[in-house]
């Protein structure tokens, strides 16, 4: 994917759902994966010409795995001129060694978000950008249908009243395959996740399921996404009325 096309998708999402306001200070959550690095690059480019002034910083929650090397991401942030903060934690030790969680993802995510939100508030941020793309939107909906029995997915924008923070998702119009293409084109320094649960989760199962459905029924993912956009579920306003 070309940068110009990526920016057009990101700007459309930002405009459609009013994700950015004047004088926002946005923390971009950096996991080291392709999605978060693409989001960082896109927002850093968008701020150069977007009519509303905003600033970004990059933040990584280090879960405490010994084999995580963030040097290449530090170099990328230096190249982009973006402030980079690493939050060191013992989350991996707590989840895997002390509590020995059989299903670690939920607790890990809760602790990771807690550490992230606390730090970015201290850094003066009023928003945090997550790198969820179009595939994530649909996969989360399928997860909810299969395991919870309800039609639900995360919203483009969510206000966390306890933290006085707003979560935004500027990549929601971008397909994962295009994220992969952009990452390869720009040679972004993707870091492989050191988590032992990576690739062995319910989300991974649903991702593969959706992939198989798409192979046999081309356009299924796009139709599912359209159904979500038009569903009226919480957090997804009717764009025709906006």
Confidence band for 242, pLDDT divided at 50, 70 and 90: low
Set out the domains of the chain in order of their start, with CATH numbers. 3-137+153-193 (3.40.50.620)
pLDDT at residue 79 greater than cutoff 70: yes
* pLDDT digit string, tens, across residues 49-61: 999 999 999 999 9
Separation CA 39–CA 43 (nearest Å): 6
pLDDT at residue 200 greater than cutoff 80: no
pTM, two decimals, is 0.93
Give the pLDDT of residue 1: 83
Confidence band for 98, pLDDT divided at 50, 70 and 90: confident
Confidence band for 37, pLDDT divided at 50, 70 and 90: very high
* pLDDT digit string, tens, across residues 137-193: 999 999 999 999 999 999 999 999 999 999 999 999 999 999 999 999 999 999 877
Confidence band for 241, pLDDT divided at 50, 70 and 90: low
Confidence band for 87, pLDDT divided at 50, 70 and 90: very high
Mean pLDDT over 215-238 rounds to 93
Confidence band for 239, pLDDT divided at 50, 70 and 90: confident
Give the pLDDT of residue 121: 95
């Amino acid at each position: 994917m070309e940068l110009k096309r990526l920016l057009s998708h990101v700007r459309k999402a930002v405009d459609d759902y009013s994700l950015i306001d004047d004088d926002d200070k946005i923390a971009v959550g950096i996991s080291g994966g392709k999605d978060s690095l693409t989001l960082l690059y896109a927002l850093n480019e968008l701020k150069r010409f977007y009519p509303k002034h905003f600033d970004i910083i990059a933040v990584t929650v280090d879960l405490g795995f010994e084999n995580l090397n963030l040097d290449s991401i530090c170099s990328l942030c230096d190249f982009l001129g973006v402030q980079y903060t690493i939050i060191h934690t013992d989350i991996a030790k707590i989840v895997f060694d002390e509590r020995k969680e059989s299903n670690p993802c939920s607790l890990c995510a809760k602790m990771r978000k807690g550490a992230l939100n606390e730090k970015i508030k201290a850094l003066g941020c009023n928003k945090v950008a997550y790198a969820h793309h179009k595939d994530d939107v649909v996969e989360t909906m399928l997860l909810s249908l299969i395991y919870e029995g309800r039609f639900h997915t995360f919203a483009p924008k969510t206000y966390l009243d306890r933290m006085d923070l707003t979560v935004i998702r500027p990549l929601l119009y971008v397909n994962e395959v295009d994220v992969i293409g952009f990452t390869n084109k720009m040679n972004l320094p993707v870091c492989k996740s050191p988590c032992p649960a990576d690739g062995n989760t319910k989300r991974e199962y649903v991702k593969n399921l959706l992939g198989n459905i798409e192979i046999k029924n081309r356009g299924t993912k796009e139709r599912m996404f359209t159904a979500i956009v038009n569903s009226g579920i919480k957090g997804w306003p009717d764009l025709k009325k906006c």
